[in-house]
Structure 1
Amino acid sequence: MTTRAELTEKIVAHKTFNDIKWSDVAAAVGQSKEWTTAALMGQISLSKEQAYAAGNALGLNFSDEEIALLMTVPYRGSLPTAVPTDPLIYRLYEVVNVYGTTMKALIEEEFGDGIMSAIDFTMDISRKADPKGDRVTIVLDGKFLPYKMY
């Protein structure tokens, strides 16, 4: 019996070895590179058709069991430790630690008491050329959900 974590490792190893881009897999699946990557990393479930399309794009002939794992609603949260140790993920964690209260204050000032949805949500990651070194641009776009009074 394969676990979802083992399937993720298989996908990532195969993708890396064969120099396949997430954006190419996403085009075959019909979703954004961000959504498709999250799904294949085990954080979002795919439809059967999307799972087969991903397998074809990756050149992997997924078993029925693997297709079922890709279709299963996951337990979300991909960090193995409370404080991330991977340097890139830690820097994002640091951004939230340093600027989280600022983001919260500015969102509440603009929208009121509520949260940004991570369900009705999109993300875009892109590269921006800069003579001092290319920049990473991350756009998080979530619907505002006000707390309701009752």
Structure 2
Amino acid sequence: MATNVFINLPVSDLARSKEFYTSFGWTLDPNFSNDDAGAVAISDTIFLMILTHQHWAQFTDKPVADAHSTSAVINAISVDAPEEIDTLVEQAVAAGATENKSQELGFMRSRSFSDPDGHAWEVMWMDPIAQSGDWQAVQAKYGDQQPV
């Protein structure tokens, strides 16, 4: 059985966040969305729950962090091809994201962005050779690049 992942994020403007996350192809599930929350399918096994601050408070006694000024997590997702990174990040930026750091290692590539609430996302691709852990094959293909 596949394990599902649910990423929960507090958002200051639910309508804006629903529009933002669906603008680059992720799907809002109306069965689990209402005026307090939006369920966004990223893939068949990864889901994003965007929650109003009031709804978020039902799950924790901690205050909502200002993700524009603090950092606690980077939500990283992989894509099947390096060019998909550019497509997704450019769509996110067009929808109101702020682009952050990028990484080019040959065998691995990533770009990152922050959503309108400041939540950090990284979109990455890794060559299947590197995923196998065969660093001799990676060096043969890419030279002196080292795994992180």
TM tier, shorter chain?
under 0.3
More strand by share: 2
TM-score (ref. length: structure 1) = 0.25
Bigger CA radius of gyration: 1
More helix by share: 1
TM-score (ref. length: structure 2) = 0.25
